Structures are given as C-alpha cells and as structure tokens.
Amino acid sequence: MKARRVAVTGAGVVASCGIGKDAFWHGLLREPPEGSVLPIDDFDPAPYYANPKEVRRADRFQQFAEAAAHEALEQSGRPIADPLRTGVIIGTGIGGLITIEDQSYVRREKGPRRVSPFLIPMVMGNAPAAAVSMRYGFQGPCETVTTACATGTHAIANAARLISTGRCDAMIAGSTEAAMTETGVAGFTNMTALSSSGHSRPFDKRRDGFVMSEGAGVVVIEEWEQALARGATILGEVLGGASTADAHHITAPAPGGVGAIACMELALEEAGVGPSAISHINAHGTSTPLNDAAEADAIGKLFGTPGPPVTSIKGVTGHGLGAAGSIEAVSVLLTMQHRLIPPTMGHGDRDPEMAEINLVTGKPREWQPGPTLSNSFGFGGHNGCLVLAPPP
C-alpha cells in the first residue's frame, strides 16, 4: 500500500454509547450500563431522509449506515474526484434481520399477499452501500463485505487498497449492524455467546461472554495529495491492513492465536512498520473466554512484554458484530485526536491463566499518538487487522 498514501478526512459513528463523534467519545470514558444487550434507544432516522416513506423503506441497519456516512461526509467535505473513481464499501455481518423477522410475522398472521414488496431491497446486505452511492452519486466500486465481526476492518482495508493501487481517488468505507431482534438475541443466547451476568469484561478472569450491541461506523478516505490540494483536514492515515482465515472452527479461534498472529504480521508488513513501531493496539477483546485468551496470546507472542498499550472499547460499546471494526476505527482516530487512550471498562481482575498484556484499565492513559493496530476477529475464523497512523 505504498504506491499512493491514503488519508482519512471524515468519520461518522452511531453507537450504543453515543450518536456522533462527540457523544461517542464522551461515552467511551463513562461507565457502561448493565445488560446482556445494549440497544440504541435514542436514534432518530428522520433527519437523514426526505420523508417518512423513505424511512419505512430502509431497514435499521441501513439507517445507521446512512447516518454515519452523512456525518463522515459533512466533516470531510465532498471529495473532489471523478464519480467513477469514488466508491463505497459498506459491510454488514447479518443484514436486515429486523425486516426479515417483522415480515415473517406478517406472512404468518396476514398471508403472503401482505408481505412488503420492499422486503428484498430492505434485507439485502448491499442495501446500505447502494443507498449511499445513490444518495451522493458515487459511481465507482460499490461493494459489500460480510465477514462476521471482521467486516468493518476488512471494508476499510479493502477500500484503502483501491486508492493505494490507483483504481479510485476516494472511498466511503465502513460497516453497520442492527440484529437485535428477539430471534437474533435468542440465537446468540442459546449458543452461549452472550454474557449471562450482563457485563462485558474484556480480558478479565470473570469474563463470560459478550454484550450484544448495534450501530455503524463510516470513514471517508482519499488519495493523500488530493486531500491536501483541496484543503481537507487529515484525521489520520491508513498505512495497511490484512485478512487471514483460521481454517479451524466456526466460532472458536485457532489455538494459540496463530491466525491472529499471521494477520497482524501481514498488516504490519503491508504498512511498512515493525512491531516496535506500534504505539497502541485496539484489541478485538469481546469478553469471551476463548477469544480473549487467544488474542492476548497472539499479542504477547508478537509484541513481547509489556508491549504497547492495549484497550478494548467493547467494555463500553458492547459487541457491534459486523459494525464493530469500523466503530473501533473511528475510536482509534478519536484516540489520536485527543491523545488519550480510553480504559478497558469492565476489566477489574487479570486472568492469571492468560498471557499478560499492557492493558489500559481504570482511567484514560495519556499518549503520544503513533501507528496503531486495530484487530477484528470473527465467527468463521475471519481475521482482520488495520494499521492507522496519526496525521502529520
């Protein structure tokens, strides 16, 4: 990814701890509420649509994506690029589950003729990317990534490559998720993925599963010289990224974190930096017993002890599934802006059976921004890593 530099010029977020970057950042520094699910109760889609009819024809996961894209583009300003060289990659892990569940009820109770003719456009995973491209007239690659919890990280890394290799000059990239239906929650509960105690405790010895959440994160990225020429404010730089597969198990990580190690190594290689250059790691840190242990093991093996400071924001945000990686990319950009690493909320007791990492706990840690690694590891063995750097 050294052919052309990739600047981040805009960011938008919808998360359980805050809608919009300012509220989101303050939320990352507060104690989270209790509960095995963290819905976004105060989201209003109306400002992002022309009329109520448009709102009704968009599933909640699309609404989140359009809100985050709006904020990102408002901050960035419209990139000065050929529409054919401006694209959109917005992913999702599950898609329009709310609409599927609602319309399945309609069919059972009222018959098939009452099923909405907008069912398919509302549930398809590519609906958010298509909606953003149509709203703003972006005619370049318009794609969707679906790699479970690694989705957002993969979407941003893939979009950055389109810029670095010269195919595109600007991209809108991120991910979104809204799967908090009764059936969705029941499915995660019955596979014993959710916390039975109602607490997200990343890397803690008491961790017993993740807290489910929803939301979206979107960034505007563009070719570095173009961003400078139009006077855009550069928030950060995408140095590189990587994707690997564990090829091991549908939900459990590979023992010893071998897939995660390979992914982190490839991301650093693409970024052109070594482990010693990484000044901070945004961990996947879901609060599940196997995943946290595997990630800590991988970080310890690659970065040594004590290694760079590590945090997991899922102690506050919960796990946004397919949206998690892009929400966390926005958190990394804000961490650089504020020169402050948020603590891993919910963590109180180190697991003595887990590799020791330099975990930020208790209170925010002051920090001199530098290259930062953001990890995302998903069901199916999907591994995604992204290396971001602060603006000059």
Q: Which residues belong to the active site?
A: 149, 284, 319
Residue type for position 343? P
Centroid of chain to Cα 305: 27
Cα gap 131→58, rounded to integer Å: 9
Q: How many helical (H) and strand (E) elements, i.e. helices and strands, does the chain have? A: 13, 15
- Residue 108 structure tokens: 């059972």
Distances (CA, A) of 381 to 257, 258, 333, 374, 378: 11, 11, 26, 17, 6
Cα gap 103→105, rounded to integer Å: 5
Cα gap 196→389, rounded to integer Å: 37
What radius of gyration, in Å, describes the C-alpha atoms of the chain? 20
Note whether 174 and 90 are within 8 A (CB): yes
Q: Where are the alpha helices (DSSP H) in 6-143?
A: 21-28, 52-56, 60-76, 97-110, 119-123, 127-136
Cα gap 124→143, rounded to integer Å: 12
